């Protein structure tokens, strides 16, 4: 009986397990192997080079630049989308009747195909016909060439990153806000607490688990960014938006350096893992 | 039956890498010549020379300079599917507006500069000349003709060392950098202004002719690439190679048969009419089909005249890395961040490193 149950259990998880082994576990181990070779992705021979790829990686100025671009991008997008998401969720809380409509509007970028969105953003950022620069010029403000200026390109892709991420933060915070105990607020009202103090001393601490969730998923999401940057700037100009996954892609699939690209992938994975563990620790400590 | 699958230019290589790694190669493929050195080493390509009764018989009157990419260790592993080159496209409407003669495209760098400045004075963000400055093979392949025209090289004959860091090389790069940063007749930025009628001139390939003829919101013309005083005619040779992958005997035989049919003079003439690519064989170039096509599409004349000046890029496995290193070193110069001398010196060091395999 027991063994039959076990067999059924294995049978039931088999489809998911096969997919996991085939599309996650196997490529995972395989790319680790490749990262110790100088394989070009085509050659019949995969020459073992030990830790050479990893050593070269830390001597590679372009990799260091892409690492710092990735850090700036990740922190900016995660923090700003979280803060904005929280603020918007608070405002929506007051508009009970229309909040469903607003939530749909803010969530729509999350489910919009990135390619389609990137095409639209490219037009918006256009220095001559783009709405953004036309607006800035109308206000007599400097209108930068967003995607082609080394000082502005990273800001431009960060703006798109926030736009894409914001909806998720709004929805999660809105759900969190609606589940907060009313009794706390009633007690606060009796004590004559003003609106700012309510947010500062009640809402923010009560929502801490939600904030941790939004931050962790935000970091993991942003650090792996590829699609809209690939479409908008391809990492340029002069590497100013060259995030790590884009650098990995170019090394592996344009320069035939699959071994090196795998080493970048494993370095990225190690960073994500370390950050996740760190955030878990912080979360556990704060929950105690 | 032939089942054709097409990919965007950039997506094809990753697909082939995955196919070769996983042993799921197609019967045949056609890819950019710039990747052939790497494809040749995969050990998965069919020896077309022996399959088609000897290299001589397999190639016939195909232009010899097009065979470089298919030969590997004395074996013929692919045949040219098409060839092309870069020439000058210009916007006749903008030429007229700027008071230039729309039927007299520039012949020299000086004339090109004068025209670019005149057009950029039209305002509204209109550029005189659109220059490709995004790093990668695009930048390298667009810039190489300027090097060759001014008498500089790219790599030495043995493809073991760079030769572009010379007085002539500096002249070539300075010309474009000045167009952007001194004359303000071009901007360093994203590619695509010419398509929208926002730039007076651009260097591009013959495959753009059909698209512009049907869709361009302006009247366009083409011309051979302008050359500097005392310079020589030169352009870059582009193209694709077609190859068969090892597989079952039946699949290999069918693939070889298809390649033989596809590269035949009769089919190539029809292919060139549809794609506006340049002929790979003398017999195609002189065929009635092609002569009639050129008569109907005058914009192709510049490309035909220029094909004999087309130079092949180095057919070595390090080329993608060399081109990437070269383009990245030049990019800051176009933005005016570093001097031309510094950019070329950086490029020289980076290319040497790429050639050494690191």
Q: What is the DSSP string of B269-326?
A: HHHHHHH-PBPSBHHHHTSHHHHHHHHH-GGGHHHHHHGGGEEPPP-STTHHHHHHHH
Specify the pLDDT at position A199.
Answer: 86
For A72, counting Cβ atoms within 10 Å of its Cβ (0-12 exposed, 13-18 middle, 19+ buried), the class is middle
Q: Is the pLDDT of residue A116 over 80?
A: yes
> What is the least distance, in Å, from the CA of B347 to any CA of chain A?
14
Sorted by where each begins, the domain ranges of chain B are 9-83+237-311, 85-235+316-355
Read off the pLDDT of each residue in B2-8 and give the average, rounded to a whole number: 82
ipTM above 0.95, yes or no: no
> What is the least distance, in Å, from the CA of B134 to any CA of chain A?
7
Q: Is the pLDDT of residue B2 over 80?
A: no
Q: Is the pLDDT of residue A99 over 80?
A: no
- Give the pLDDT band (50/70/90) at residue A193: confident
Taking one residue from A and the other from B, the number of pairs with CB-CB distance under 8 angstroms is 78
Q: Is the pTM of this model over 0.90?
A: no
Point out the least confidently predicted range of A90-94, B276-280, B287-291, B337-341. Answer: A90-94
- Average pLDDT for chain B: 92
Under DSSP, the state recorded for A240 is T
* Closest Cα in chain A to B198: A128
3-state secondary structure of A272: helix
Higher per-residue pLDDT: B284 or A195? B284
CA B136 to chain centre: 13
As a residue count, chain B comes to: 358
* Pairing of the two strands B235-244 and B199-205: unpaired
- Could you tell me which residues come within 8 angstroms of residue B271 by beta carbon, excluding any fewer than 6 positions away? B81, B82, B262, B277
Specify the pLDDT at position A272.
Answer: 87
* Each residue's pLDDT tens digit, B24-36: 899 999 999 988 9
Residues of A in contact with B187 (CB under 8 A): 145, 148
Read off the pLDDT of each residue in A1-24 and give the average, rounded to a whole number: 88
Q: Is the pLDDT of residue A1 over 80?
A: no
Residues of B in contact with A149 (CB under 8 A): 189
Inter-chain touch A41–B17, beta carbons under 8 Å: yes
DSSP codes, B212-275: HHHH-SS-EEEEPPPB-TT----EEEEEEEEEEB---HHHHHHHHHHHHHHTSHHHHHHHHHHH
Point out the least confidently predicted range of B129-133, B166-170, B354-358. Answer: B354-358
* Each residue's pLDDT tens digit, B59-106: 999 988 888 899 999 999 999 999 999 999 999 999 999 999 999 999
List, in sequence order, the alpha helices (H) in A60-181: 61-94, 99-111, 114-124, 131-138, 153-178
Q: Is the pLDDT of residue A57 over 60?
A: yes
Topology of the domain covering B9-83+237-311: D-Maltodextrin-Binding Protein; domain 2 (3.40.190)
Specify the pLDDT at position A54.
Answer: 93
Decide whether B9-83+237-311 matches B85-235+316-355 in CATH topology. yes
Specify the pLDDT at position A288.
Answer: 64
Q: Is the pLDDT of residue B57 over 60?
A: yes
Specify the pLDDT at position B27.
Answer: 92
Specify the pLDDT at position B14.
Answer: 82
Specify the pLDDT at position A196.
Answer: 86
Angle at B143 (CA atoms; ends B141, B145), nearest 5 degrees = 85
Specify the pLDDT at position B146.
Answer: 97
CATH of domain A63-287: 1.10.3720.10
Query: What tokens does A175 get?
Result: 């759900």
Cβ neighbour number for residue B355 with a 10 Å cutoff: 20
φ, ψ (nearest 5 deg) of residue B10? -75, -20
User: B167-181 and B340-355 are packed helices; what angle lies between their axes, rounded to 10 degrees?
Assistant: 120
- Average pLDDT for chain A: 89
Higher per-residue pLDDT: A191 or A163? A163
Q: How far apart are CA A247 and CA A254, in angstroms?
A: 10
Indicate if the alpha-carbon torsion angle B91, B97, B103, B107 is positive or negative. Answer: negative
Q: Pick the closest to residue B113 from B226, B10, B208 (CA basis).
A: B226
Specify the pLDDT at position A64.
Answer: 93
User: A153-178 and A114-124 are packed helices; what angle lies between their axes, rounded to 10 degrees?
Assistant: 120
Specify the pLDDT at position A201.
Answer: 86
Inter-chain touch A253–B14, beta carbons under 8 Å: yes
Indicate if the alpha-carbon torsion angle B29, B32, B33, B38 is positive or negative. Answer: negative
Q: Is the pLDDT of residue B358 over 60?
A: no
% of chain B surpassing 70 pLDDT: 100
Cα–Cα distances in angstroms (integers) from residue A161 to residues A33, A65, A218, A219, B202, in the given order: 33, 19, 10, 12, 33
Inter-chain touch B16–A128, beta carbons under 8 Å: no
Cβ neighbour number for residue A220 with a 10 Å cutoff: 16
Q: How far apart are CA B260 and CA B242, in angstroms?
A: 10
* Each residue's pLDDT tens digit, A33-56: 999 998 887 777 788 888 999 999
Query: What tokens does B139 get?
Result: 């930048």
Q: Is the pLDDT of residue B200 over 70?
A: yes
Cα–Cα distances in angstroms (integers) from residue B151 to residues B148, B231, B237, in the given order: 5, 6, 17
Contact (Cβ atoms closer than 8 angstroms) between residue B347 and residue A252: no
Q: Is the pLDDT of residue A12 over 80?
A: yes
Specify the pLDDT at position A173.
Answer: 94
Residue B301: half-sphere exposure toward Cβ, Cα within 13 Å: 9
Q: Give residues 316 to 335 of B whose Cβ lies within 8 Å of A.
A: 317, 320-321, 324, 328, 331-332, 335
Region of B74 please: left (phi>0), alpha (psi -120 to 50) or beta: left
> What is the least distance, in Å, from the CA of A196 to any CA of chain B?
46
* Pairing of the two strands B28-32 and B79-91: unpaired
Read off the pLDDT of each residue in A204-218 and give the average, rounded to a whole number: 89
* Each residue's pLDDT tens digit, B106-157: 999 999 999 999 999 998 889 999 999 988 899 999 999 999 999 999 999 9
For A239, counting Cβ atoms within 10 Å of its Cβ (0-12 exposed, 13-18 middle, 19+ buried), the class is buried
| CATH homologous superfamily for the domain B85-235+316-355 | Periplasmic binding protein-like II (3.40.190.10)
């Amino acid at each position: 009986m027991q063994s039959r149950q076990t067999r059924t259990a294995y049978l039931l998880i088999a489809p998911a397990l096969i997919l996991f082994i085939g599309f996650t576990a196997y490529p995972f181990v395989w790319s680790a192997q490749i990262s110790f070779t100088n394989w070009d992705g085509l050659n019949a021979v995969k020459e073992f080079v030990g830790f050479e790829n990893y050593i070269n990686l830390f001597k590679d100025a372009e990799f260091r630049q892409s690492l710092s671009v990735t850090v700036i991008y990740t922190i900016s997008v995660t923090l700003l989308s979280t803060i904005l998401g929280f603020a918007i969720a608070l405002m929506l809380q007051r508009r009970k009747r229309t909040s469903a409509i607003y939530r749909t509007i803010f969530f729509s970028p999350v489910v919009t195909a990135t390619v389609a969105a990137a095409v639209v953003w490219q037009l918006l950022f256009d220095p001559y016909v783009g709405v953004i620069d036309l607006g800035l010029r109308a206000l007599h403000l400097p209108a930068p060439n967003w995607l082609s200026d080394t000082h502005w390109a990273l800001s431009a892709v960060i703006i798109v990153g926030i736009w894409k991420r914001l909806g998720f933060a709004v929805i999660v915070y809105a759900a969190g806000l609606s589940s907060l105990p009313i009794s706390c607020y009633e007690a606060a009202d009796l004590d004559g607490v003003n609106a700012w103090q309510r947010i500062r001393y009640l809402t923010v601490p009560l929502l801490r688990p939600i904030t941790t969730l939004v931050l962790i998923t935000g970091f993991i999401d942003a650090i792996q960014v590829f699609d809209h940057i690939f479409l908008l700037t391809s990492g340029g100009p002069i590497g100013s938006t060259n995030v790590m996954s884009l650098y990995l892609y170019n090394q592996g699939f344009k320069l035939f350096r699959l071994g090196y690209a795998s080493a970048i992938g494993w370095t990225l994975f190690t960073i994500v893992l370390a950050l996740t563990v760190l955030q878990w620790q912080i979360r556990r400590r704060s929950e105690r | 039956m032939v089942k054709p699958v097409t990919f965007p230019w950039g997506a094809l290589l990753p697909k082939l890498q995955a196919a070769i790694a996983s042993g799921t190669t197609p019967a045949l493929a056609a890819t950019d010549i710039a990747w052939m050195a790497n494809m040749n080493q995969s050990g998965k390509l069919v020896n077309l020379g022996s399959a088609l009764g000897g290299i001589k018989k397999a190639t016939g009157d195909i232009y010899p300079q097009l065979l470089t990419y298919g030969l590997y260790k004395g074996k013929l592993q692919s045949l040219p599917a098409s060839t092309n080159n870069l020439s000058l496209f210009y916007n006749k409407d903008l030429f007229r507006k700027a008071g230039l003669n729309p039927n007299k495209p520039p012949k020299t760098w000086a004339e090109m500069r004068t025209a670019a400045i005149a057009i950029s004075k039209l305002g509204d963000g209109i550029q005189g000349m659109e220059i490709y400055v995004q790093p990668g093979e695009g930048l390298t392949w667009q810039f190489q003709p300027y090097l060759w025209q001014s008498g500089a090289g790219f790599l030495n004959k043995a493809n073991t060392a760079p030769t572009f860091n010379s007085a002539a090389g500096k002249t070539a790069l300075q010309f474009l950098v000045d167009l952007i940063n001194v004359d303000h007749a071009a901007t360093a930025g994203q590619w695509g202004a010419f398509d929208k009628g926002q730039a007076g001139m651009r260097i591009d390939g013959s495959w753009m002719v059909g698209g512009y003829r049907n869709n361009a919101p302006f009247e366009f013309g083409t011309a051979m690439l302008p050359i500097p005083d005392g310079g020589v005619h030169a352009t870059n040779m582009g193209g694709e190679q077609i190859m068969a992958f090892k597989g079952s005997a039946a699949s290999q035989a069918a693939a070889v048969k298809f390649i033989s049919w596809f590269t035949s003079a009769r089919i190539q003439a029809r292919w060139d009419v549809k794609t506006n690519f340049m002929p790979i064989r003398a017999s195609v170039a002189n065929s009635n089909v092609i002569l009639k096509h050129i008569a109907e599409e005058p914009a192709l004349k510049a490309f035909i005249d220029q094909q004999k000046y087309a130079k092949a890029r180095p057919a070595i496995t390090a080329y993608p890395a060399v081109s990437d290193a070269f383009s990245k070193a030049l990019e800051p110069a176009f933005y005016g961040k570093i001097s031309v001398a510094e950019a070329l010196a950086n490029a020289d060091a980076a290319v040497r490193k790429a050639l050494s395999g690191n």
